[in-house]
Amino acid sequence: MEGILSLTSKADLNLVLGHVSDNQLHGKDPLPKMLSTQTCDGLLVNYNADIPIELEELINNAAIPAVWMNSRHEHNCVYPDDRKAAWTLVRRLVKSGHSRIAYADYQISNTKIASHYSNAERFAGYAAAMIKAGLEPRRVDTAEELEHDGQLRHTAAWLTASDAPTAVVCYSHFTANVIVYAASRFLRKDVQKPLVFAFDSFGKRDLPLEWTQVTIPMQRMGEEAVHLLVSLLKNPETKNAPIALPFEQPEIPV
């Protein structure tokens, strides 16, 4: 939102916020005015998981320029390059001497299809980099969704194994927090704890010390979306190629 507000202000544009509920999408409730009438010149769409077909049809039928944020489409969209971010992180870890690098995502079981594209993309980037390095990809997430205590027990099992990873790439801070807590609780003090990385967007002042963030370019995504929308306002028929944004890579702790 910070990036959007900054750029719309500089471009002398007014930002109108609107919310579309599932009932509105399925015709049970009236649509917001921004979609049912010509009350705005363009749209920034931040609906990025389990996107209903009805929403895409609504936006297409609205006949006003639209830019999708944090979701992938054939054109006119801006999103973080999750696959490349995971690939780059793993390649850097390998160069730093790590070979037992695991991937974890406790927000969703590894047998369930995720609602957001980034779940699959981050793991795909991780796995591709591991294979490129001649290493075996290793998922340490779960076959079913577990409550907190179950996650701790599961984590303790692989943290204390003889082949425990020396680095763990996590989908987000939710998983990283569980792993860091389990490591402090179950590992002996003389055992080296694994490096833990997570993809997230905390500000620098809010970053935790226990794990390392690979920073999602949220502010830049908002800025690029506004730039793209301004361009579309001038040339509404243009179908711009998707814009994939790089993450901010952290230093690898020693």
Regions of the chain where pLDDT drops below 50: none
In order, the DSSP letters of 51-95 are --HHHHHHHHHHTS-EEEESS--SSSEEEE-HHHHHHHHHHHHHH
* 8-state DSSP, 241: P
Residue reference for tokens 């696959």: 83
Residue reference for tokens 């009350």: 39
Residue reference for tokens 């489409």: 73
CB 31, CB 57: distance < 8 Å: no
Give me the pLDDT at residue 141, please: 81
- Distance in angstroms (rounded) separating the CA atoms of residues 236 and 37: 18
- Distance in angstroms (rounded) separating the CA atoms of residues 152 and 159: 10
In this structure, what token pair is assigned to residue 60? 């297409």
Tell which residue, 28, 136, 143, 125, has the closest CA to residue 81: 125
Residue reference for tokens 């490591």: 183
What the chain holds in terms of domains, given with CATH numbers, is 2-79+218-245 (3.40.50.2300), 81-215 (3.40.50.2300)
Give me the pLDDT at residue 41, please: 82
CA distances for 254 relative to 65, 93, 120, 194, 212, angstroms: 48, 11, 29, 11, 12
Condensed to tens digits (0 to 9), the pLDDT of residues 86-135 reads 999 999 999 999 999 999 998 876 556 667 899 999 999 999 999 999 99
Give me the pLDDT at residue 204, please: 62
CB 211, CB 173: distance < 8 Å: yes
Q: What is the reported pTM?
A: 0.85
Give me the pLDDT at residue 86, please: 98
- Distance in angstroms (rounded) separating the CA atoms of residues 109 and 153: 15
In this structure, what token pair is assigned to residue 230? 């301004």
In this structure, what token pair is assigned to residue 47? 């609906």
Residues in contact with 77: Cβ distance below 8 Å, sequence separation at least 6, in sequence order: 67, 68, 69, 71, 242, 243
Give me the pLDDT at residue 58, please: 77
Give me the pLDDT at residue 244, please: 98
Residue reference for tokens 């409730």: 29
**C-alpha angle 82/182/118, rounded to 5°?**
15
